[in-house]
Amino acid sequence: VVDRYLQVADLMQLELEEVEATVFADVSSRDINRIYQLKREMLDMKRAVTPLQAPLAALPQRRVIPSEMREYFRDVGDHLSRVCEQVDSSNELCSSILQAALARSNALANEDMRKISSWVAILAVPTMIAGIYGMNFDSMPELHAAWGYPAVIGVMVTACFLLHRGFRRNGWL
């Protein structure tokens, strides 16, 4: 039974290494679900293996166990300890991979939000200027001037151009 646990732990380790390679290539919700599923399997494995440690450690100490069997139980106990250690280290690695995948996913979402925010800021400037001039107050001095309309359009285009250039320079666009 313990040797089978060792085989299962080895298979989990291989799958974890495969997941680790895919996570850093491209993060998707499918990868995060797979990592979480692996973590659940490791916890189930830990629940199955951990309670066996104490009884197997005590068996070689019992006088009722024949001396030729004690070495066998020590060997089984060593295998079980190795399985427990492997499951623990795999669980820690899985947690680290999950955190890295979530961090990478958040970074990609933040990058998208920066782009969206940049475009919103660029479009907000002409919207605000058009909103102010759309109120048609008679007391606006440039309202009746021949240069008023082209000047406002020029301010809108210049503001949008400067914002676009600034966002592009900062890597937001």
Domains in the chain, please, with CATH? Answer: 2-169 (1.20.58.340)
Contact 56, 80 (CB under 8 A): yes
Neighbours of 5 (CB within 10 A): 20
Query: Quick one: CA torsion of 162, 168, 108, 124, rounded to 10 degrees?
Result: 10
Q: Is the pLDDT of residue 142 over 90?
A: no
Q: Write down the pLDDT at residue 27.
A: 65
- Could you tell me the pLDDT band of residue 169, with boundaries at 50, 70 and 90? very high
CA 14 to chain CA centroid, nearest Å: 21
Q: Is the pLDDT of residue 25 over 80?
A: no
DSSP code of 64?
T
How confident is the model over 58-114, as pLDDT tens digits?
Answer: 888 888 888 888 888 888 888 888 889 988 988 898 888 888 888 888 988 999 999
- Could you tell me the pLDDT band of residue 135, with boundaries at 50, 70 and 90? confident
pTM above 0.85, yes or no: no
- Could you tell me the pLDDT band of residue 154, with boundaries at 50, 70 and 90? very high
Q: Write down the pLDDT at residue 20.
A: 74
Give the separation between CA 158 and CA 29, rounded to whole angstroms.
Answer: 41
